[in-house]
A = this chain, B = another copy of it.
Amino acid sequence: MSKVNKVVLAYSGGLDTSVIVKWLMETYNCEVVTFTADLGQGEEVEPARAKAEALGVKQIYIEDLREEFVRDYVFPMFRANAIYEGEYLLGTSIARPLIARRLIEIANETDADAISHGATGKGNDQVRFELGGYALKPGVQVIAPWREWDLNSRESLLAYCDKHGIEVEKKKGKSPYSMDANLLHISYEGDILEDPWTEAEEEMWRWSVSPENAPDKPTYIELTYEKGDIVAIDGEHLKPHEVLLKLNEVGGANGIGRLDIVENRFVGMKSRGCYETPGGTIMLKGHRAIESLTLDRELAHLKDSLMPKYAELIYNGFWWSPEREALQGLIDDSQRYVNGKVRLKLYKGNVIVVGRQSENDSLFDEKIATFEEDQGAYDQKDAAGFIKLNALRLRIAAEKGRLL
């Protein structure tokens, strides 16, 4: 075990990370700096201050990072239409790089030589925190208590608290699930979900009503895009995190954004997770719609071909990497003309595109596309040569008896 003088801990204020504070002090005989961020998880962060103080922490960082989170992480990711394994909108993955960055920045500010987090050794989050940490401060030491200690059950954690005088809140109605939340989503794992054949319980979900319980009348919204990002809803200009707050609200109210999947973790196992991503689900649909009108075909297809790779990078924790940055550059650049409006109908779990327009940047050319007389905008005879030359190699192969 290396010598550590000071460690910055990603601190939620909950039981696990409170135990970690004490365990770090005791095990490494070091100073602990706590860092608690409001990423829109929907819980107060300020109470973490008193808890940290009670544990003997001297340097306490509590920050509202919601705007930065959406502006610099969520929005760039949605420019790519990123989906992991055809389904997952990467809600947990996208928050980790920001936390990793703040951990390192605080380590630099406070002269700490280590960072620590409460993620287990089985999951993706440890990878995301630590790859970020190493990428941003190559010499940093990382302490992952769950991989080191032997407090591997709730009972042993409670016993530890008891022994060290750590106050344990008695929450009633504590969720049996392992959860993570931020402005983009809330996730659920564990408990009955460990059987992929078992349906999730209605009471598990927290951010959305079920489609059944959603209003019987649809809600229409209009999203305004500039360079691929939403800048206004129903004509009202909003900051990035306000956009997402608003879409979560209207999406959740209409039963939108629930997902139940089995996914492949970077560490090599499959796991089952349920996710609520109301605003993100709307954003994906809306973004595809505005791109469909304004993006060149081949640029769109290039983006589509790169998307699985890009999503995998974020899922696996390589946000802070040369390859993600290179792809981001291409993606951001592609959004230059992704400007305009999308009209959506939200109804009982459905996000339905009902209109899209772009005053200056639409590549939809009605006079060419029309089924009516087009005044020569398009010469149908051109298609004959187009097809003939596209077919030439096929015909030569066919003459050799290759096809059929």
- Which residues does A use to contact B, with CB under 8 Å? 81, 85-87, 101, 120-122, 126-127, 130-131, 134-139, 142, 144, 146-147, 152-153, 178, 189-191, 194-200, 211-212, 216, 218, 258, 260-264, 267-272, 288-289, 292-293, 296-302, 304-305, 308-309, 312, 317-318, 320-323, 326-327, 329-330, 333-334, 337, 343, 345, 347-350, 352-357, 360-366, 368-371, 373, 378-400, 402-404
Q: Least Cβ distance of A327 to chain B in Å?
A: 7
Contacts of A190 in B (CB 8 A): 370-371
Minimum CB–CB distance from A129 to chain B (whole Å) comes to 9
Residue pairs across A and B with Cβ atoms less than 8 A apart, 20 shown, are A85-B288, A120-B380, A122-B368, A126-B387, A127-B386, A127-B390, A136-B403, A138-B399, A191-B371, A211-B350, A212-B216, A262-B356, A267-B392, A297-B393, A301-B308, A327-B330, A349-B350, A363-B397, A382-B385, A386-B386
Q: How far apart are A202's CB and chain B's nearest CB, in angstroms? A: 11
The complex places the Cα of A353 from the Cα of B258 at a distance, in Å, of: 10
Are B197 and A357 in touch, CB under 8 angstroms? yes
Give chain B nearest CB distance to A161 CB in angstroms: 19
Number of copies: 4
Q: Name the B residues within 8 Å of A396 (CB-CB).
A: 138, 268-269, 363, 365, 368
Say yes or no: A363 contacts B138, CB within 8 Å.
Answer: no
| Shortest Cβ gap from A107 to chain B (Å) | 13
**What is the distance, in angstroms, from A159's C-beta to the closest C-beta of chain B?**
15
Asked if residues B130 and A391 are in contact (CB atoms below 8 Å), the reply is: yes
The answer on a CB contact under 8 Å between B305 and A292 is no
Besides A194-B370, A268-B389, A326-B334, 5 more A-B contacts (Cβ < 8 Å) are A135-B398, A191-B371, A262-B292, A317-B390, A329-B330
> Bound complex: CA of A144 vs CA of B134, how far in Å?
27
Judging by beta carbons under 8 Å apart, are B320 and A302 in contact? no
Q: Which residues of B contact A363 (CB under 8 A)?
A: 270, 393, 396-397, 400
Contact call B392/A388, Cβ cutoff below 8 A: no
- A288's nearest neighbour on chain B, judged by CB, is B86
The reply to whether B258 and A395 form a contact with Cβ atoms under 8 Å apart is: no
Whether A121 pairs with B391 at a CB distance below 8 angstroms is no
Q: Closest CB-CB distance, A146 to chain B, in whole Å? A: 7
Contact B384 A147 (CB under 8 A): yes
Chain B residues with CB below 8 A from A298, complex form: 318, 321-323, 393
Q: How far is the CA of A304 from the CA of B333 in the complex (A)?
A: 21
Do A353 and B261 touch across chains, with their CB atoms under 8 A apart? Answer: yes
**Partner of A267 from B81, B196, B343, B386 at Cβ < 8 Å:** B386
With both chains docked as a complex, state the minimum distance between the C-beta of A253 and any C-beta of chain B, in angstroms. Answer: 15
